[in-house]
Amino acid sequence: MHVSTRAALLAATLVWATSASAQTYTLEEAVRTAVANSPQGEATAARLDGLNAARNAADTNPAPTIDGTVENIGTPGFSQWQIDGTYNQRLERGGKRAARVGLAQGDIAVAEAEALVRRLDLASEVQALYVEAQAAALSLELARSRVEIAETLANEVQRRVDEARDPLFAGTRARTQLAEARVDLGLAEHAFEAALARLALLTGGDPGSIGVVTSGFLEAEEIASISADLTPVDLAVFQARRERADANYRLQEANSRTDPTVFAGPRLFGNGDVAVIAGFSLPLPNRALNRANIDRAAAEQRQVEADLAVERFQRRRQIALAAERVEEARHEAEAIQEQVVPGAEQTLREVRAGYNRGGFTFLDVSIAQTALHEARVRFVDALAEYHQAKVDYDRLTGRFIELVGGY
């Protein structure tokens, strides 16, 4: 096993050990916890409560009215007055009530689908922060390894200076490099703590008592072939919008039919007589307005279909680009691990052995040490790029759909 790989696995062990008495999250656990702690659930529930109330309101008949009139009050005398009282009820035709309920149900379906998409977006955000914390943990271990190498080299150089085999400036330079390594270690520790703090903002945990698992970070696997189309959750949004547009079209068709109003009630005369009156009224249709509303609803239907086609076109392109980024980063990480890091490790071993025999200078050792550290850092950076590209790819392909309560 390469030194860089061993250091990364050691980082995972350290993270587990420092978090053994607290809460250590796997990626899936972090996503599940973040979704559970997010206020999105309350916001969605409130929105659905309002939409359900609107649906209940839509599932009601028109309210009746009571009219009262007084007529024929004047001179000569007041014996000709009439008092009418009527009960009026509008009768809906054309299935307006069912169409209203269908439109309200469509709003509910859209809200539920959009809530699933928001949870999937939250999972993607958590994954990005988790990858950031993993990369920071491995960078921290590389910084520790660099300090250890610098300390060993500083001791070797000081021994040679004491034996008058190297000039004094060699010892000074070795101590300076050690100081630089320790400064970088402090920065790496801060970066790791900051990454955990950002992750804790979503998981709701204490930044000082959570940890991440870094062992999976070393696995740069080839992505499986997957259909470059919308995920079931994203597709559900457009399906819900399509059903709502269809319901709105049916409602506009129903509204094109006029509704009669029937009425009945007593009539009281000034001379004491009583009669019953009844009748109906039927408004005249506004054909131009009705046609315009139907045309607008039909245009909304076409717009939903067009939006779906556009989204599918863009999604295919985005998935292809994300997959390309993943594969590019994977190839880079593998090439560095298999070709660059082993050569840098062998070079440092050979230069240090030659330095101890007096065949190389301290500058040669310093250059070899720096080259090894840079190779390891580049390896971790390539892995970080791979996993960050996987964040986009996983969101586009719906990796956490079931985890966030989707389809």
Digitized pLDDT (tens) for each residue of the chain, 407 residues in all: 444 444 444 444 444 334 444 578 888 888 998 888 888 889 999 999 999 999 999 999 999 999 989 887 766 656 678 889 899 999 998 899 999 999 999 999 999 989 988 999 999 999 999 999 999 999 998 899 888 888 887 887 777 777 777 777 877 887 888 898 899 899 999 999 999 999 988 888 777 778 888 877 887 888 776 666 667 777 788 889 999 999 999 999 999 998 899 999 998 887 778 899 999 998 888 899 999 999 999 999 999 999 988 888 888 888 888 888 999 998 988 888 888 888 888 888 888 788 777 777 777 777 888 888 888 888 988 999 999 999 999 888 888 888 887 55
pTM score: 0.80
Please name the residues in contact with 246: beta carbons below 8 A apart, sequence gap of 6 or more: 106, 301
Choosing among 1.20.1600.10, 2.10.260.10, 1.25.40.10, 3.40.630.30, the CATH entry for 49-125+153-164+221-404 is 1.20.1600.10
Partnered with residue 210 across adjacent β-strands are 23
- Token pair for residue 27? 């990626």
Show the beta-strand stretches assigned E in 247-402: 261-269, 274-281
Please name the residues in contact with 41: beta carbons below 8 A apart, sequence gap of 6 or more: 35
Please name the residues in contact with 107: beta carbons below 8 A apart, sequence gap of 6 or more: 51, 54, 55, 244
Residue ranges per structural domain of the chain = 49-125+153-164+221-404
Residue (of 246, 253, 233) closest to 106 by Cα position: 246
Distance CA 348, CA 372 (A): 7
Question: How are beta strands 261-269 and 210-212 bridged, if at all?
Answer: unpaired
Distance CA 37, CA 32 (A): 9
Give the N- to C-terminal CA distance of the chain in Å, as an integer: 41
